[in-house]
Structure 1
Amino acid sequence: MLILQRRKGQALSINHNITLTVVDAGTDWVKLAIDAPKEIPILRTELKEAAAENQKASATASRQVLEEILKKR
């Protein structure tokens, strides 16, 4: 893991096509602007974890529950 210190208005580049710019910062938070190609997905970690949990839950749903859901459609 690389740890960098940046100040408001400073940026860093990743792989020539992604730029992260510090827009604002507080004592326990930072606001970033991310400039990246549209085909590169950018997700907050908590959303990525929630999607993984949903996928896991859907894989373990019983056949009976799935059939009930389909009947309601």
Structure 2
Amino acid sequence: MLVLSRKKGESIIIQDDIEITILEVNADTIKLGFNAPRDVEILRKEIYTMIAQTNKESAAHGMDIQVLKDKMKKT
């Protein structure tokens, strides 16, 4: 893990087109600003984890291939 120290108003650049700026620093919170291309998805970790878990649960239920073929024919 790379650890950097930044002050309010300072930024970090990732691969030429993603910029993270420190907007505000309080006692126990930091406000970050992200400037990135629209195709770059930025999620809070708890949301990312929830989506990954939901996807894992959906995949575990699986679907019979014939049921899937029938559903595709109806559309």
| Smaller-chain TM-score bracket | 0.7 to 0.9
* Deviations, residues 19-64 of structure 1 (Å, cap 9, x unaligned): 110000112211000000011111111011000111122223387x
Equivalent residue of 2:13, what SS? strand
The runs of 4+ residues in structure 1 deviating greater than 4 Å are none
Counterparts of 1:33 and 1:16, CA distance in 2: 16
The equivalent of 1:35 in structure 2 is: 35
Equivalent residue of 1:6, what SS? coil
Q: Percent identity?
A: 35
Give structure 2 stretches of 5+ with no counterpart. 64-75
Counterparts of 1:62 and 1:43, CA distance in 2: 27
The equivalent of 1:59 in structure 2 is: 59
Counterparts of 2:58 and 2:17, CA distance in 1: 35
* Structure 1 pair 23–61 and aligned structure 2 pair: CA distance change class (3 A): same
Counterparts of 1:31 and 1:15, CA distance in 2: 22
**Partner AA of 2:7 in structure 1:** R
* Structure 1 pair 12–62 and aligned structure 2 pair: CA distance change class (3 A): closer
Counterparts of 2:42 and 2:2, CA distance in 1: 19
Give structure 1 stretches of 5+ with no counterpart. 64-73
**Partner AA of 2:48 in structure 1:** K
The equivalent of 2:24 in structure 1 is: 24
